[in-house]
Structure 1
Amino acid sequence: MDKRLIVLASGMFAIGTDSFVVAGVLSQVSTSLGVSVALAGQMVTLYAISYALLSPVIAAAAAHWPRKRLLLTGLAVFVVGNVVTAVAPNIELVLASRLIAGLGAAMFSPTATATGASLVPPEQRGRALAIVIGGLSSATALGAPLGTFIGGALDWRATMWFVAAVGTLAGLGVAWRLPEIPTPPAISLSRRLAPLADTRVLLTLLTTWMVYAGLFLVYTYIGLSFDRATGGDSRVLAALLLLWGVAATAGNFAAGRLTDRYGSRRIINAAIAVLVIDFALLPLTSASLVTAVPALIVWGVCGWGVLVPQQHRLISITPAAAPLLLGLNSAAIYVGVSMSGVIGGAAIAWFDRHALGLVSAVFLVGALFVAEWARQRIARPEVRPTGVVGATSGSAR
């Protein structure tokens, strides 16, 4: 295992902790600042939308920066954003600080995944991506539950200080262990967005968006959705998040090996199909701790099992544009996350909070159809403007 991948994963762990821990303390934020849970949930929305919109812009503007400097700067901005969240006296400043933290994530995350993919031969790319993304999924196994527990034992501000400390430690690890990495050729913003004109890429990104919008509809409001199972106890919620995170980490690493062996299509379709069933049953399975446990295990394994084959599929479409495509995929994830906060908040107002799983299932069914549509387009040879027929590797199928 390349130690450089572990260093990159440590930064992803910090980014992931911030992404997932807020859901565990939303009720505390709501009470502390005197706002509704739905408004507090926009902390997730603004963090995600900042990341999604700024990722391609930052990638173009900082294209001439050395990779290590960009990674460290991103973590520094990320830490500042979380410190501001921890000391903010009102919801307005809290929400503004989420934009700052999202900017830091936008600088770090796509750079880390693209760098990880470039460090290994093509036949090991799935496992390399799994290691780097493993930092993100392991944050669900350790960072988010620990942050939620800290919030329950102290308060939500202590949780945000914890996230800032994790980001600081990750920055020290990157500074100490990651060697200088060659700066890739500078690419303009228009060229970075050019892959969106490729229907195969667009459909694959749409699949990512629909999957993670569906998953985070429930996750953002997991404290409310699973209140019957937790009895409102933050310690039980932290334990459930720990279980979910362990399952997510296992699913992520298993997906890396399975994608290298079987290709992306089987893994993507199987994972999404199982998620549809799991989320459709959530109104029932979230009612008690006994049934909530297996539901969260399936959610973790399959939800994170989709990410690696999706990235692998994108890289297989146009290997030379891998950094651009991975950045767009990360943006698609966070656009989905940002919209899930809004859609989930509306669904809570319109329907019962325990029915969020059904809304998620609708998104996941759509994702399954779009994923197969993408596969069909990928299977067709693309005729280039020059008249050259572009080939696609079988692993993309």
Structure 2
Amino acid sequence: MNNRVYFLMVIAFIVGIVELIISGILDLIAEDLHVSLGQAGWLITVFALIFAFMSPVLLVATEKVERKRLMLICLWIFLLGNIITIFSPNYAVVFFGRIVTALSGALLTILCLVMAPAMVEQQYKGRAIGIISMGVSGALVLGVPIGLVLGNNFGWRAPFIMVAILTIISIVGVHFLMNRVQPMKAVPLRAQIASLTNPKVFFALLTTFLYMSGHTALYAYLKPFIEETMALNGTMVSLIYFIFGLSAVSGGGIGGALADNYGSRKTISISLVLFVFTFVTIPFTTKIVPLFIIVSIIWGILSWAISPAMQSYLIETSPKTASILQSLNNTALHFGVAAGSFFGGLIINIVPITYNAFIGAILIFLSLITAYMSMYSKEKDPLMIK
């Protein structure tokens, strides 16, 4: 295994932090910039929306650029976006900074996933991709709690200062440690979009979108939810985020094992049913902290257990277009994050924040319906990529 793959994992970790960290410091941003919690939440929405739209577009647009050079360009732009955020005087400038970091971060993540398997022997390619994914999941475990601690003690800009420092270290590392990697031809956007004509694929991707929307409708506002319903201090909130993150990462392994042993369809179905039940239950557990933590652990496991099962299902559905479907599933996931954070922000401006859990439950229930629509749709010949 090429040790440079682990360096790419660190870069994926840094990008993951920037995408997720806003959820832990929403209240601090809202108070300092004189906006509502919902408006602060839209900073998550714009990042995820750009990530979803632009990942495949940017990959195709830059398919002829040598990968090391492209990564350095993206890292410099990513650094610029964080500097804009750090020195922003108002909400509009922060919003612009998020756009800059989302554009560069989207391509950085894809580059890490493309470069990692190109650096190793054939038998290690799958493991290399898994290592990059660990970087993103590591951001979920450590990013938000670290952001909470830094934000509560030094202000909401402090986490972005940390990210800027890590980005500078990454630029130096890529410059001196990484070898040149020649680009491979990207899958045309037309072929990616054409995959959606398969009803089994379309409803599967819609399932990803809906369950992630439901999850994010509450997770994006978890800190204000905990503070409003349970009146816990910053240390306890950070602890809950940390426990949730560990559960989510373990959920990825659990979901993959269940899909291998019991099949992807059964794993998706059971996970979504439990997911709905968990979200309906959450608002009724806030009076007993240990019970809330137990339910949060279940929530964390389920939030990531579905993903590997869905990836396996998509590969089974159309093996010849598996690479396209993985990309589209990632896009659907980020669309879900964008939609969930946007509508969650609208909800908390109208009704008590506990309703976010019930709205999330409805969206996840709809994802269960679309999952069955996918599973029982008529088979269609997989598309041939030209």
User: Which residue does 1:160 correspond to in 2?
Assistant: 160
* 1:75-224 correspondence to structure 2 within 5 Å: 75-113=75-113, 125=126, 129-172=129-172, 179-224=179-224
Q: Is the 8 A contact 1:230 1:236 kept in 2?
A: no
- Counterpart code for 2:94: V
Distance 2:201 2:223 in 1: 35
Cα distance 1:274–1:385, how it changes in 2: closer, same or farther (>3 A)?
closer
User: Which residue does 1:393 correspond to in 2?
Assistant: none
More displaced, 306-315 or 270-279?
306-315
User: Which residue does 2:27 correspond to in 1?
Assistant: 27
TM-score normalised by the chain length of structure 1: 0.87
Distance 1:257 1:347 in 2: 36
More displaced, 264-273 or 224-233?
224-233
Distance 1:122 1:322 in 2: 18
- 2:351 counterpart of 1:335: no
Instruction: Say which SS state the counterpart of residue 35 (structure 2) adopts.
Output: coil
Q: Is the 8 A contact 2:230 2:286 kept in 1?
A: no
Distance 1:311 1:110 in 2: 17
User: How far did 1:260 drift?
Assistant: 4.0
Q: Is the 8 A contact 1:82 1:161 kept in 2?
A: yes
- 2:362 counterpart of 1:382: no
Cα distance 1:189–1:385, how it changes in 2: closer, same or farther (>3 A)?
closer
Cα distance 1:64–1:258, how it changes in 2: closer, same or farther (>3 A)?
farther
Distance 1:381 1:199 in 2: 8
- Counterpart code for 1:382: K
* Deviation sequence 1:128-179 (CA, Å, 0-9, x none): 6543322212211112101111000110011111233334445555556555
User: How far did 1:273 drift?
Assistant: 1.9
Cα distance 1:56–1:124, how it changes in 2: closer, same or farther (>3 A)?
closer
Q: Is the 8 A contact 2:276 2:365 kept in 1?
A: yes
- 2:16 counterpart of 1:16: yes
Cα distance 1:192–1:122, how it changes in 2: closer, same or farther (>3 A)?
farther
Instruction: Say which SS state the counterpart of residue 354 (structure 2) adopts.
Output: helix
Distance 1:312 1:69 in 2: 33
- Counterpart code for 2:190: S
Cα distance 1:62–1:312, how it changes in 2: closer, same or farther (>3 A)?
farther
Cα distance 1:192–1:222, how it changes in 2: closer, same or farther (>3 A)?
same
* Deviation sequence 1:200-248 (CA, Å, 0-9, x none): 2222211111111111101111122111565252222111111111111
User: Which residue does 2:370 correspond to in 1?
Assistant: 370
Q: Is the 8 A contact 2:28 2:155 kept in 1?
A: yes
- 2:243 counterpart of 1:243: yes
Cα distance 1:181–1:261, how it changes in 2: closer, same or farther (>3 A)?
farther
RMSD of aligned residue pairs (Cα, Å): 2.7
User: How far did 1:271 drift?
Assistant: 2.1
Cα distance 1:80–1:73, how it changes in 2: closer, same or farther (>3 A)?
same
User: How far did 1:110 drift?
Assistant: 3.2
Q: Is the 8 A contact 1:129 1:308 kept in 2?
A: no
Instruction: Say which SS state the counterpart of residue 162 (structure 1) adopts.
Output: helix
User: How far did 1:44 drift?
Assistant: 0.7
Q: How many residues align?
A: 383
Unaligned runs of 5+ in 2: none
Q: Is the 8 A contact 2:48 2:334 kept in 1?
A: yes
Unaligned runs of 5+ in 1: 387-397
- Counterpart code for 1:315: I
TM-score normalised by the chain length of structure 2: 0.89
Distance 1:74 1:238 in 2: 31
Q: Is the 8 A contact 2:59 2:186 kept in 1?
A: no
Q: Is the 8 A contact 2:213 2:336 kept in 1?
A: yes
Q: Is the 8 A contact 1:63 1:187 kept in 2?
A: no
Instruction: Say which SS state the counterpart of residue 368 (structure 2) adopts.
Output: helix
Cα distance 1:173–1:307, how it changes in 2: closer, same or farther (>3 A)?
farther
* 1:50-61 correspondence to structure 2 within 5 Å: 50-61=50-61
User: Which residue does 1:313 correspond to in 2?
Assistant: 313
User: Which residue does 1:43 correspond to in 2?
Assistant: 43
Distance 1:85 1:290 in 2: 37
- Counterpart code for 1:240: I
* 1:250-329 correspondence to structure 2 within 5 Å: 250-329=250-329
- Counterpart code for 1:289: V
* Deviation sequence 1:29-81 (CA, Å, 0-9, x none): 11111111111111111111111121121121012223444444333322321
User: How far did 1:111 drift?
Assistant: 3.7
Distance 1:269 1:240 in 2: 27
Instruction: Say which SS state the counterpart of residue 369 (structure 1) adopts.
Output: helix
Identity %: 26
Q: Is the 8 A contact 1:285 1:292 kept in 2?
A: yes
- Counterpart code for 1:244: F
